[in-house]
Amino acid sequence: MRILVVEDDDAIAKPLVEGLRREAFDVSRVATGAAALAAPLPDLVLLDLRLPDIDGTEVCRLLRARSDVPIIVVTAKGEEVDRVVGLELGADDYVIKPFGFRELLARIRAVLRRTHRGADDVRLRAGSLELDLRSRRATLDGRELALTPKEFDLLALLASDPGAVVSRDHMLREVWNTEWFGPTKTIDVHVASLRKKLGDPRWIETVRGVGLRLAPQP
């Protein structure tokens, strides 16, 4: 899985590249918009908007004009208008600096799931649980689980970073593709069903006031 990091700040780029490589991604890094446009097309682009030569929004527009490569904008420009412009130009997601590496990693995997890139070689494993993103099959101890499409998507989101807490807002965005500011009972219904199908409610832990996390059981 090839990721192109377009970031001119070494203090941000170096640990980001190292972290992604530890997660088994093939990572290249460039520091200018011109270099990003000249680079071979990767499977996903992490794009800073404040570049020394070409504005990142223009880089995003030019990349989108010639390909459907997934683009995640990573920038300190967090005003709503900047987010809207980035998304309208074709970005698949928008992450504001400073960001947590685990959150960014979850967003990368979510974008790859949505765009179906890299599904041939992406399997998520958490203890005895395994999810094949290409075939959309989930097995536990070798036994296939009968999951609905949304149950699979929710479990895949949690399994993309076992142990990390995923907020309810993030679940709604990634699984249901919506923003919702009221009760989130639909999540509770799907979680209850998943716990039943996993055979042990401890697989999915509730972190009160925060969200949910996958807790692989022995």
**Cα distance between residue 27 and residue 10, in whole Å:** 15
**Per-residue pLDDT at 119:** 47
Comparing C-alpha atoms, which of 191, 187, 215, 188 is closest to residue 203? Answer: 215
Helices (H), 141-215: 149-159, 168-175, 185-198
Q: Which CA distances in Å does 76 have to 19, 79, 88, 91?
A: 20, 9, 18, 15
Kindly state the DSSP code that residue 178 receives in the 8-state scheme: -
At 55, give phi and psi (nearest 5°): -60, 140
123-214 CATH fold: Arc Repressor Mutant, subunit A (1.10.10)
At 165, give phi and psi (nearest 5°): -80, 130
Sorted by where each begins, the domain ranges of the chain are: 2-115, 123-214
**Per-residue pLDDT at 181:** 47
The CATH class for the domain spanning 2-115 reads alpha beta
**Cα distance between residue 49 and residue 88, in whole Å:** 14
Comparing C-alpha atoms, which of 100, 106, 94, 102 is closest to residue 48? Answer: 94
> Per-residue pLDDT tens for 13-66?
999 999 999 888 899 999 999 999 999 999 999 999 889 999 888 999 999 888
Comparing C-alpha atoms, which of 181, 128, 172, 169 is closest to residue 154? Answer: 172
Q: What is the mean pLDDT of each run of 10 residues along the chain (218 residues)?
A: 93 93 91 96 92 92 90 75 66 84 85 64 83 88 92 90 88 71 73 95 93 90
